[in-house]
């Protein structure tokens, strides 16, 4: 009898084993082109895990996916340094164990010195690892625009009325509007400044054909409609997509300031050590070069040739994302000027 009792725990372990040993899951929120299906499969095979990648098309979408009360529990997000700050502030992301990411050593020196990049390190803890970056310039149709636009305000130029594509997002659009109207700190706007920017954005809306969300959507619109200017939220990635389909386009950095983003991998609180393994995997040459070769995006292990070091304004945390998002909802739905 005692013999059998002694075996009971073993039996229980065997019975529970399938659940205990079931495959680990990794849920990732990322942007188009960051985690190609074949790379995901390779990772799954190497670590015997299941990876689910959900794509986002705007910072608003990323935020709402992470903060939705009954959302899936994600492990990793690809987020820019500015947006990252509100995730840290809300305690949504955890610090990373950099010792378990050996490929950090292969990064370029300026990405290795994480303390020098605003917002990555808080009280000695690293919260995110840079992965890719881009400036957000203006793509112009050489057939319709003969002089590369020098200001962001070209998007408001009635010459191109109905031939402009803007990006469907709240945060950058308000920053852009403020940049164009000469507000000193476009990232931190007073309520009055936000209202002014909203009105500017209504004007922008009235001047454009439509807002796009994905690089492919912009390509499709460029092919089917008469498009003069595109605000390139995805930077070089988008430029490459257009050139790949034979579009005769140029890319320019407005003199009054070109916004730039640095996207990083960050782990949400629920994430296990698999998150670090994923980041390490993404910093391998294969994944990083794919970013550049297939998407036209910069990576952090090779010096970029395509990226202009013009008057870049790296994204900074904004004053009130919710306020911008709710105003943006009104703008995109078509509310009239009098409403702002």
Partner 1 sequence: MGSRIVIKLAIWIAVLSILSAGISVYFTYTHGRALLIQSAKDKLATATQVLANRYSFFIADITKDLLFISQLPAINEIASSTEPQSAKHRERLATALAGFLRSHEEYNQVRFIGARDHGRELVRLDKSQNSVHIVEGLALQEKAHYSYIYNTLQLKPGNVFVSGIRLNKERGLLDGYGKPSVIVATPVYSPDNTVFGVIVINVDLEKMFSLIEIDVPEGIDVLATNSAGDYILHPDLEKTFGFDKGMRVLMQDDMPVSQRIFSGESSRLVAEVADLHSPEKQAVISLTKVPFATESDEKYIVLGLVSNLDTVLADSRELGVTSLKISITFGILFVLLSLILARKITTPLQRMASTFARFKQGDPVPELSTNREDELGQLARNFSIMAKKLNAQLHELNSQRQYLHKVAHHDALTGLPNRILLEDRIEQALISARRDKVEIAVMLVDLDGFKPINDKYGHDIGDKLLQECAARMLTCIRETDTAARYGGDEFMIIISARDLQLRGMSARHLSRQVAEKVRNALNQGFKIENYLLNISCSIGIALYPQDGDDKNTLIKHADIAMYYAKSTGRNNVKLYTDIQID
Task: Report in angstroms the alpha-carbon separations of 197 from 25, 105, 137, 239.
Answer: 42, 42, 19, 27
Q: Between 114 and 172, name the residue whose CB sits nearer to partner 1.
A: 172
Q: With left for phi above 0 and alpha for psi between -120 and 50, is residue 126 left, alpha or beta?
A: beta
Pick one of 55, 108, 313, 323: the residue that binds partner 1 (CB under 8 A).
55
Pick one of 24, 36, 42, 53: the residue that binds partner 1 (CB under 8 A).
53
Stretch that binds partner 1, among 75-83, 93-101, 111-119, 332-340 (CB under 8 A): 332-340
- In residues, how long is the chain? 340
DSSP of 281-326, one letter per residue?
HHTSHHHHHHHHHHH----SSS--SS---SSEEE----S-HHHHHH
Q: Between 205 and 240, name the residue whose CB sits nearer to partner 1.
A: 205
The C-alpha atoms of residue 159 and residue 156 are separated, in whole angstroms, by: 9
Check residue 256 for interaction with partner 1 (CB under 8 A): no
Check residue 239 for interaction with partner 1 (CB under 8 A): no
Within residues 144-173, the interface with partner 1 by CB under 8 A covers 162
Pick one of 211, 222, 234, 251: the residue that binds partner 1 (CB under 8 A).
211
Instruction: Return the SS3 of 158.
Output: helix
Check residue 280 for interaction with partner 1 (CB under 8 A): no
Pick one of 25, 65, 199, 308: the residue that binds partner 1 (CB under 8 A).
65
Check residue 212 for interaction with partner 1 (CB under 8 A): no
Check residue 122 for interaction with partner 1 (CB under 8 A): no
Check residue 121 for interaction with partner 1 (CB under 8 A): no
The C-alpha atoms of residue 327 and residue 250 are separated, in whole angstroms, by: 32
The C-alpha atoms of residue 159 and residue 137 are separated, in whole angstroms, by: 19
- Cα-based angle 322, 324, 329 (whole degrees, multiple of 5): 95
CB 144 within 8 Å of CB 302: no
Check residue 323 for interaction with partner 1 (CB under 8 A): no
Check residue 68 for interaction with partner 1 (CB under 8 A): no
Check residue 306 for interaction with partner 1 (CB under 8 A): no
Q: Between 204 and 253, name the residue whose CB sits nearer to partner 1.
A: 204
Rg (CA), the chain: 23
Total residues in contact with partner 1, by rule CB under 8 A = 27
DSSP code, position 182: T
Q: Between 187 and 222, name the residue whose CB sits nearer to partner 1.
A: 222
Q: Please list the residues that pair with 211 across neighbouring strands.
A: 166
Q: Between 111 and 234, name the residue whose CB sits nearer to partner 1.
A: 234
Pick one of 34, 43, 57, 127: the residue that binds partner 1 (CB under 8 A).
57
Q: Between 32 and 319, name the residue whose CB sits nearer to partner 1.
A: 32
Task: Report in angstroms the alpha-carbon separations of 183 from 16, 175, 193, 273.
Answer: 62, 9, 8, 43
CB 40 within 8 Å of CB 76: no
Pick one of 18, 69, 124, 334: the residue that binds partner 1 (CB under 8 A).
334
Q: What residues line the site for partner 1 (CB under 8 A)?
A: 29, 52-57, 61, 65, 162, 202, 205-206, 208-211, 225, 329-330, 332-336, 338-339
């Amino acid at each position: 009898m005692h013999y059998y009792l002694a075996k009971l725990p073993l039996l229980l372990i065997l019975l529970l084993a399938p659940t205990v040993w079931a495959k680990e899951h990794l849920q990732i929120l990322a942007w188009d082109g960051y985690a190609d299906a074949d790379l995901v499969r390779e990772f799954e095979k190497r670590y015997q895990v299941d990876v689910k990648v959900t794509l986002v098309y705007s910072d608003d979408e990323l935020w709402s996916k992470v903060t939705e009360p009954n959302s899936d529990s994600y492990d990793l997000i690809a987020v820019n340094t500015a947006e990252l700050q509100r995730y840290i502030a809300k305690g949504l992301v955890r610090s990373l164990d950099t010792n378990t990411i050996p490929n950090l050593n292969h990064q370029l020196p300026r990405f290795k010195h994480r303390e020098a990049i605003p917002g990555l390190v808080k009280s000695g803890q690293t919260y995110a690892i840079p992965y890719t970056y881009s400036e957000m310039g203006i793509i112009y149709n050489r057939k319709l625009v003969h002089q590369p636009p020098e200001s962001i305000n070209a998007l408001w130029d009635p010459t191109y009325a109905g031939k402009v594509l803007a990006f469907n997002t709240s945060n950058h659009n308000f920053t852009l509007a403020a940049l164009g109207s000469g507000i000193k700190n476009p990232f931190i706007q007073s309520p009055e400044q936000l209202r002014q920017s909203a009105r500017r954005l209504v004007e922008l809306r009235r001047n454009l054909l439509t807002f796009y969300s994905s690089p492919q959507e912009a390509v499709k619109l460029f092919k089917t409609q008469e498009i003069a200017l595109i605000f390139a939220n995805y930077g070089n990635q988008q430029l490459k997509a257009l050139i790949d389909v034979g579009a005769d386009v140029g890319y320019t950095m407005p003199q009054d300031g070109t916004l730039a983003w640095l996207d990083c991998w960050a782990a949400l609180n629920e994430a296990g050590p698999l998150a670090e393994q994923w980041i390490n995997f993404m910093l391998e040459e294969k994944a990083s070069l794919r970013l550049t070769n297939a998407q036209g995006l910069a990576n952090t292990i090779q010096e970029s040739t395509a990226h202009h070091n013009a008057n870049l304004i790296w994204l900074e945390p904004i004053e009130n994302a919710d306020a911008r998002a709710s105003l943006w909802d009104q703008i995109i739905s078509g509310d009239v000027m009098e409403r702002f």
